[in-house]
Structure 1
Amino acid sequence: MIAPLQLVAWETTRRCPLACRHCRGAARDAAYDNELTTEEGLCLIDGIAEFAKPILILTGGEPLFRPDIFELALHASGKGMRVVMSPCGQFIDAEGVRQIKESGIVRLSISLDGATARSHDAFRGVSGAFDKTLAALSRLKEAGIEFQINTTVSKLNHQELPAILALAKTTGAVAFNPFFLVPTGRGAAIADLILSPEEHEAALTWVAEKAFGDSLDVHPTCAPHFNRILRQGALHKENTPKRKRLLASRGCLGGNGFIFISHQGILQPCGFLDISCGNVRDAGFNVKKLYEESELFNQLRNRKDYRGKCGVCEFLDACGGCRARALKQAGDVLGEEPYCLYQPKKNMNEIIELDEIDRELLTRLQHDFPVSSRPFEAVAQECGLTEEVVLSRMKRLSENGLLRRIGVSLHSAKIGSISTLVAAKVQKERVEGVAAFVNHYTEVTHNYEREDGFNLWFTIVAPDKKRLNKILTEVREQPGVETVLDLPATHLFKIDVNFSLK
């Protein structure tokens, strides 16, 4: 299915005064040959407007190097497009602010790659860039022009993200967009600065928390696995309009909702996928034909053909992985996202073969688990195996989804704690918010929604009666909570269930 065209990024020029370490175009401060002329730019805008009214991002290089940039912006605005511009922040003076407002540009994207001049300027390759950018932001704020802050995330600055977000708020930004490093152009030389899968997970989890709860609009770019993290955490969030909007977002839109047009008119799925899908000049600026008929675009739209982990992942539709990183890492544009640590659950219809050792271990681990510093060593000795073999097999069975968890279960009363089962009657429209509130207590071990009148059931294990009563009182005071029943156990019945797989 071909998605409507929502976003177009047009690299109006590749010339740029900065020398950013990550630049996908390896831009330099010099004229480039064969860039689209003013007339061709107007024809390009007309070609897009004939079949879509997307957000048009005027980017570069430095778009302000084009003397006709405001003429182009005004033309696109007149065609019903929402026009935004992505300058480097070095040339926005009072006259520029006036022209921005008069040309119909509704938002600017300005980059801050560090919270200090030292870190930002080092990444951007020009001393003084940070101070000029802050001065530009101040002018934009004073003029009432909307702007967002973009940040290229790498090992150099991922610890600075909270500080950069705070700076974005101070400057008056309306949004914060962390861009996760893709190793193309000059970025290929700093591929070692890409976050590891574990660092991606931690950073994107932080972004997800801010996306749900911050006053700014926070959303990453070039990190489609953010949508998987978003959905995994969404069960614990109140059902707000922001939550609905976030969960409606999809992963990589390259070629299916988004296109990139180079300074020379070459159509690409995105700026980081340097693969030509036709030239707008050669197509007579029939952008619709190129968008709908590109062979690569149609391959990217058919996610069922994706390979590796992405191809079997249950979050494929929501995420899809970064196609540019897949191409760079393994030479396969349909391959798996190399910087996602998630292990997909296998297709439930797929039969996973267990050998005799697997069966023996799964049977053995269901009872009398050794309580020691190295329990798997004890199990290995008992089964005539090595500890390494047992751990390797446990890992494989866990990745296949057959082994969900090995953990301790404590008898709370014997260690001096007090426990209870709680049944709550909550107004239907408030259930998710109350559930999220309940879940924030570390003392809550289970929490389930039910279909009957008492629709929220959870268990509490507290250190004493005073703490238990405090939690119950706070839950009762939550909006939408009508009744809370405290149902402590009077008799315990433990069923020792074991399944023999031998």
Structure 2
Amino acid sequence: MKPFFFLKPGKGNSYQVFNPVDNTEYELNYIGYRILEHCDGLLEPEEIADRLIRDFSLTKSDAIDYINVFLDKMYRLGMIAWRQEKYESYRDWGAPSTVFWDITGECNLRCIHCYNFEGKQHENELSTREVKCSLEEMSGFGVKNLSFSGGEPFARKDMPEIIQHAAGLGFDTVGVSTNGILLDRHIVRELTAQKLNIQISIDGDDADTHDMARGVKGAFESAIRSIRLLLDEGVNTSVCTTATKLNVERIPGIIRLMGDLGVKNYRVQSVVPMGRGKMNADLRLTPGRMKELVEYLEKRNIQVSSYNVTLKPPPAGPVNFCDPGVCSAACSVCSITPGGNVVPCTYFWGINGDNLRDHSFQWIWENSSVLNYFRSIRLNDIKGLCRDCKWLPVCHGGCKAENYSNGDMFESSHSCWVAEETRNRILSSGKIENQKLIAKGEMEIETWVKQ
């Protein structure tokens, strides 16, 4: 088993690590810090012990004991992941099709489901010149699609300039996700000229519901005003709703409202429990309620991520556990943080990715240990209830970021209604030995899922 350390250590000699999932900072001693440095996805714990012996006055036995106890604690805190195999290098992978860029951490709303705790401008955000330079590199490398988000992208005064530069570089599409508050007719007309795709977030069919989700009064009025303005100026406009227990009953009303406004593209997404989303994790829909919502949306041809795969017949034939591409993150897409770190996806913004100030985008895409670690993930890494599910080849065990936020990137999805229904059958079976196994997450469930 080879551990891999995801998160960044602290600055200087403080020996701290910060977990963005729950906004917690942990202080380490120097030995702990050195152990995490060696968790590179290539070394076994015994090999890490050999390195500690050289640096500290420890016996091999003491070093292994120390490492095992420490890594177990780090695993339980979500700081490391384990795989059976070493990660592989994929230097000829080819450019990603889409790059998602959180262009700033600053935001004028306080959405209850956001992965961004503070909504403040990050330290050392990339300058206008640095952003433009990286955009040129990505275009030259062959990136096809670009999507800006935040924070609130238009909190950056140079955002129109950045958009104009990106639009002139030949990307197939350039999109911006915004809450709409800072848009005015002058900005919108600039967007019209650039043929952009703009996504506005709407989380209610009235001000009370939307503003409660967004944390600021008046947000609904501003968002609706911006939608009307964008459509009036001919900008390609879509709307996204984050489904929670607070607004799920209002989604039919949101759909009607979007129809009245003339919005053609509408989608729904779920909450990933990171940042404020972790603090408000009780607002997430249960898997059963999510299933009802997805069935409702499917009938109306409305997109809801990839949750619909288990509503279709499972694929025939045996599972190839060596199949790559378990997640699109680091394979066909990646994200860039406000400070320039290239990471597998937006929700992994706090991990130790390489920075655009240190390397070109192409170099990072081809050489990053974090990105190559994600590319190395196979179906064989998936554990728990998902491992023997007949939908595994198409579902891949659910969103890796969501699983990671729940404690283990390779464990069963907490949002899957198939897993929930299977778990409930096991727990209600009356077989005490099965109930104990399911509580430990150790049960092979082929007889339950494949029946």
Structure 2 length normalisation: TM-score? Answer: 0.67
- Alignment partner for residue 227 of structure 1, among 288, 295, 309? 309
One-letter amino acid of the structure 2 residue matched with residue 323 of structure 1: K
Aligned residue for 2:242? 152
CA distance in 1, matches of 2:123, 2:276: 20
One-letter amino acid of the structure 2 residue matched with residue 290 of structure 1: I
Q: How does 1:331-342 map to 2 (within 5 A)?
A: 331-342=407-418
Aligned residue for 2:111? 20
CA distance in 2, matches of 1:147, 1:259: 23
- Alignment partner for residue 383 of structure 2, among 298, 304, 307? 307
Aligned residue for 1:196? 286
Kept in 2, the 8 Å contact 1:90–1:136? The answer is yes
Kept in 1, the 8 Å contact 2:148–2:177? The answer is yes
1:270 equivalent in alignment to 2:345:
yes
CA distance in 2, matches of 1:120, 1:133: 10
Cα 1:4–1:311, aligned 2, differ >3 Å: closer, same or farther?
farther
CA distance in 1, matches of 2:450, 2:225: 56
Aligned residue for 1:87? 178
Kept in 1, the 8 Å contact 2:149–2:178? The answer is yes
> Between Structure 1 and Structure 2, how many residues are aligned?
334
Kept in 2, the 8 Å contact 1:10–1:261? The answer is yes
One-letter amino acid of the structure 2 residue matched with residue 64 of structure 1: F
Q: How does 1:117-266 map to 2 (within 5 A)?
A: 117-211=207-301, 218-221=302-305, 224-229=306-311, 231-232=312-313, 252-266=327-341
Cα 1:339–1:175, aligned 2, differ >3 Å: closer, same or farther?
same
Aligned residue for 1:327? 404
CA distance in 2, matches of 1:166, 1:297: 41
Cα 1:341–1:3, aligned 2, differ >3 Å: closer, same or farther?
farther
CA distance in 2, matches of 1:389, 1:335: 23
State the Cα distance separating 1:3 from its structure 2 match.
Answer: 7.2
Cα 1:90–1:152, aligned 2, differ >3 Å: closer, same or farther?
same
Aligned residue for 1:365? none
1:57 equivalent in alignment to 2:147:
yes
One-letter amino acid of the structure 2 residue matched with residue 340 of structure 1: C
Unaligned runs of 5+ in 2: 1-89, 316-324, 423-428
- Percent same amino acid at aligned positions? 27
1:296 equivalent in alignment to 2:370:
yes
- Which stretch shifts more, 313-322 or 263-272? 313-322
The structure with higher relative contact order (CA 8 Å, sep 6+) is 2
Cα 1:289–1:127, aligned 2, differ >3 Å: closer, same or farther?
same
State the Cα distance separating 1:317 from its structure 2 match.
Answer: 3.6
- Alignment partner for residue 279 of structure 1, among 324, 349, 354? 354
Cα 1:311–1:398, aligned 2, differ >3 Å: closer, same or farther?
closer
State the Cα distance separating 1:164 from its structure 2 match.
Answer: 1.3
Kept in 2, the 8 Å contact 1:13–1:263? The answer is yes
CA distance in 1, matches of 2:158, 2:337: 17
Cα 1:166–1:135, aligned 2, differ >3 Å: closer, same or farther?
same
Aligned residue for 2:447? 400
Aligned residue for 2:191? 100
RMSD: 3.1
State the Cα distance separating 1:73 from its structure 2 match.
Answer: 1.5
Unaligned runs of 5+ in 1: 212-217, 235-249, 347-386, 405-502
Kept in 2, the 8 Å contact 1:309–1:343? The answer is yes
Kept in 1, the 8 Å contact 2:105–2:122? The answer is yes
- Which stretch shifts more, 258-267 or 309-318? 309-318
State the Cα distance separating 1:146 from its structure 2 match.
Answer: 1.1
State the Cα distance separating 1:288 from its structure 2 match.
Answer: 2.3
Aligned residue for 1:445? none
Deviations 1:332-377 (A, max 9, x none): 2222211112159x9xxxxxxxxxxxxxxxxxxxxxxxxxxxxxxx
CA distance in 1, matches of 2:186, 2:445: 61
Deviations 1:271-310 (A, max 9, x none): 22234352333442x2223223333333433332222233
CA distance in 1, matches of 2:392, 2:350: 23
Kept in 2, the 8 Å contact 1:138–1:171? The answer is yes
CA distance in 2, matches of 1:303, 1:94: 48
